[in-house]
Amino acid sequence: MKSFFDYERPELAATLHPSFRATQLFKAVYQRRVENLDSITELSKGERAALASEWDIRLPALYRRFESVDGTRRYLLQLADGELAETVFIPEETRNTICISSQVGCALACTFCLTGQLGLTRNLTAGEMVTQVLFAQRDNLSEEQIDSFNIVLMGMGEPLHNYDNVMKAIRILHDKHGLNMSMSRMTLSTAGLLPAIQRLAAEPHIPNLAISLTGATNTKRNELMPINRKYPLEELLAAVRQFPLKHRQRVTFEYVLLKGVTDSLEDAQNLVKLLRGIRAKVNLIPLNEADELDYRRPSEMAIQRFQQVLIDNGIAAYVRKNRGNDISAACGQLKKMVV
């Protein structure tokens, strides 16, 4: 059986006769959310049976679900080969966020991130990313709210290390006869894979870009994010300066605040210098602490002081709220924890 969720509509159309069946199936599966191809009554019985024997539209099995006191939910979804994909649903008053993984584990080994300690097991397929979204959507949103969510590729893995599958998943999610997610509702977060950022810049459809920065000088960033030794800050920021932005669109920079390491006034000033001339928004993420990490979270005062330097220099800076910390669902905490 072939996984339906791995296919873009044009690919599907090329395998089906008549080809407009692809659009019918997309609407049935993504918009009407049928769980069984046999229930698509506009098709003949024979046709339904033939499709059902060829195409698998089952979502992955739920392995574990964890609920935070703040309403955040973390899912471990079991994939065909037994591996687990980790997904987080973050409810908010004005909009909900579905955070999906692009890989099992991660190869980048950032020193403050638990996923980085796992190493990379494998890339996820496009279908395995699409079904994370569908699972979280169907498990959390009622009929009236069914489309009120944004997607962030900020779960396990480095999306740009899995470029082709990630872009395919984005196109499937964007399809107007499918979930019809606009590009402005999807954000791809990267630790800074330079050639892939340049490739992304040339795509016809581009999601929002977020860059995980965390060090504002090469010396510091080399220590914290080994990828910086390959693609240093000046080259990374030069590529971001070239990145095409729509009217009023901005690049997001994620900056993890580590006590005594990245939280000084000098660090804040270095960050201001680095971002000069870029239409940027900064999300400050106070470290989510863990026993396995040697770093500490700064005090509230240090966090505010850092934020104020950015604001005083005309940079939009927000402190990311800590969500799902009690269920290991917060930034940098995803590591397939099953308890």
Task: Kindly state whether residue 158 participates in binding ligand SAH, applying the rule CB under 6 A.
Answer: yes
CA–CA separation, 158 and 101 (whole Å) = 8
Q: Which residue in the block uniquely carries the two structure tokens 């300066």? A: 241
Q: Which of residues 211-240 bind ligand SAH (CB under 6 A)?
A: 212, 214
Stretch that binds ligand SAH, among 38-46, 86-94, 175-183, 189-197 (CB under 6 A): 189-197
Measured from the CB atom, the residue of 194 and 287 that comes closer to ligand SAH is: 287
Active-site hit among 99, 110, 113, 331: 331
Measured from the CB atom, the residue of 131 and 189 that comes closer to ligand SAH is: 189
Task: Kindly state whether residue 324 participates in binding ligand SAH, applying the rule CB under 6 A.
Answer: no
Task: Kindly state whether residue 331 participates in binding ligand SAH, applying the rule CB under 6 A.
Answer: yes
Task: Kindly state whether residue 256 participates in binding ligand SAH, applying the rule CB under 6 A.
Answer: yes
Check: CB of residue 75 under 8 Å from CB of residue 64. yes
Measured from the CB atom, the residue of 125 and 162 that comes closer to ligand SAH is: 162
CA–CA separation, 127 and 122 (whole Å) = 14
CA gyration radius, the chain: 21
Active-site hit among 35, 47, 86, 113: 86
Stretch that binds ligand SAH, among 42-50, 57-65, 187-195, 265-273 (CB under 6 A): 187-195
**Is 86 tagged catalytic?**
yes
Task: Kindly state whether residue 189 participates in binding ligand SAH, applying the rule CB under 6 A.
Answer: yes
Measured from the CB atom, the residue of 37 and 331 that comes closer to ligand SAH is: 331
Q: How many residues bind ligand SAH (CB under 6 A)?
A: 16
Check: CB of residue 240 under 8 Å from CB of residue 279. no
Q: How far is the CB of 115 from ligand SAH (least distance, A)?
A: 7
Binder to ligand SAH among 12, 85, 90, 113 (CB under 6 A)?
113
Minimal CB distance residue for ligand SAH: 332
Give the phi and the psi of residue 29 in degrees, each rounded to 5: -80, -45
Binder to ligand SAH among 88, 129, 130, 154 (CB under 6 A)?
154
CA 190 vs CA 153, 156, 196: distances in Å: 9, 11, 10
**Is 106 tagged catalytic?**
no
Task: Kindly state whether residue 101 participates in binding ligand SAH, applying the rule CB under 6 A.
Answer: no
CA–CA separation, 80 and 61 (whole Å) = 9
Binder to ligand SAH among 129, 167, 285, 327 (CB under 6 A)?
285
CA–CA separation, 65 and 84 (whole Å) = 12
Task: Kindly state whether residue 190 participates in binding ligand SAH, applying the rule CB under 6 A.
Answer: yes
For the annotated catalytic residues, the residue numbers are 86, 331
Report the interface residues with ligand SAH, using CB under 6 A.
112-113, 154, 158, 189-191, 212, 214, 254, 256, 285, 287-288, 331-332
